[in-house]
Amino acid sequence: MTPTLELQDTIAVLNLGPDENRFSPDWLDTVNGLLDDVLTQAQALVTVGAGKFYSNGLDLDWLMSHGDRADWYVGRVQALFSRVLTFPLPTVAAVNGHAFGAGAMLAVAHDYRVMRSDRGYLCFPEVDIHIPFTPGMASLIQAKLAPQTAVTAMTTGHRYGGEAAVAAGLADRAATEHEVRSAAIDLMRPLVGKDSGTLGAIKATMFAATTAALAA
């Protein structure tokens, strides 16, 4: 199954999919098309997965079999991070389950995060799987996390559950499995109606160094 989009009044809910929601080229195409739709149909964005995973990030199987296209692929992934980071609407990731690696980076690229409290981890495992962060990925994480939290998250591979993620500033709220999505929608309701041109310009200025690193 592929990602889908539905509207809750003026809030778009982009469901990343029902499995590990790894970033295959087809998945990236679909998500970018749905983000185009969000811009014409909604005033805020919620992203969420279904079941055990929010997203496990890079499609390593695809990458292993298309090694000659690795730079192209990473560029596309980083372009998605940059797009979400500077999206001209309020955004929140409803982290319904595990968010690992690039999946955690996607969540961090949103304005806010609501994380499931009873199960699931947000984790940057790169240090343990021997994949150093690109400059763009490092910049993204460091733009959103307090300095010491970034050190711990990026250099130890620590797994943050919902409550620990809130305590560390990685997430804004924790909610039970059945309330993660509704809590994210509730977080967006007071923020709808902001001028998208102004909001997009503010985010572009705020994160200019990170978007430049992601595009490099």
Cα distances (angstroms) measured from residue 154 to each of 25, 34, 37, 64, 137: 26, 30, 34, 24, 10
Note the pLDDT tens digit of each residue in 42-94: 999 999 999 899 999 999 999 999 999 999 999 999 999 999 999 999 999 99
What is the rounded (10 degree) CA torsion for 173, 111, 20, 177?
20
Which one of 1.50.40.10, 3.20.20.140, 3.40.50.300, 3.90.226.10 gives the CATH number of domain 4-215? 3.90.226.10
* Percent composition of the chain: helix, strand, coil (DSSP 3-state, to 5): 55, 20, 30
Q: Give the per-residue pLDDT at 18.
A: 94
Of all residues in the chain, what percent carry a pLDDT higher than 90? 99
Mean local confidence (pLDDT), 1-11: 94
Cα distances (angstroms) measured from residue 168 to each of 42, 116, 145, 158, 172: 31, 15, 8, 12, 9
Please give the backbone phi and psi of residue 92, each rounded to the nearest 5 degrees, phi first: -145, 135
Note the pLDDT tens digit of each residue in 9-22: 999 999 999 999 99
Asked if 66 contacts 19 with a C-beta cutoff of 8 angstroms, the reply is no
Mean local confidence (pLDDT), 92-111: 98
Q: Is 39 exposed, middle or buried (0-12, 13-18, 19+ CB in 10 A)?
A: middle
Q: Give the per-residue pLDDT at 147.
A: 97
Q: Give the per-residue pLDDT at 1.
A: 72
Q: In sequence order, what are the residues at sequence separation of 6 or more whose Cβ sits closer than 8 angstroms to the Cβ of residue 186?
A: none
Residue 142: in which H helix or E strand, if any? helix 135-144
Note the pLDDT tens digit of each residue in 24-43: 999 999 999 999 999 999 99
Three-state secondary structure call for residue 14: strand
Please give the backbone phi and psi of residue 110, each rounded to the nearest 5 degrees, phi first: -70, 165
Handedness of CA 48, 11, 166, 209 (dihedral sign): positive
What is the average pLDDT score of the chain?
97
Of all residues in the chain, what percent carry a pLDDT higher than 70? 100
User: What pTM does this model have?
Assistant: 0.97
Residue with tokens 């990030």, as numbered in its chain = 57
Sketch the domain layout of the chain as residue ranges.
Answer: 4-215
Name the token pair of 180. 């993660």
Note the pLDDT tens digit of each residue in 153-182: 999 999 999 999 999 999 999 999 999 999
Three-state secondary structure call for residue 206: helix
Please give the backbone phi and psi of residue 160, each rounded to the nearest 5 degrees, phi first: -100, 120
Mean local confidence (pLDDT), 124-153: 97
Mean local confidence (pLDDT), 129-151: 97
Question: Of 135, 65, 150, nearest to 104 (Cα)?
Answer: 150
Q: In sequence order, what are the residues at sequence separation of 6 or more whose Cβ sits closer than 8 angstroms to the Cβ of residue 212?
A: none
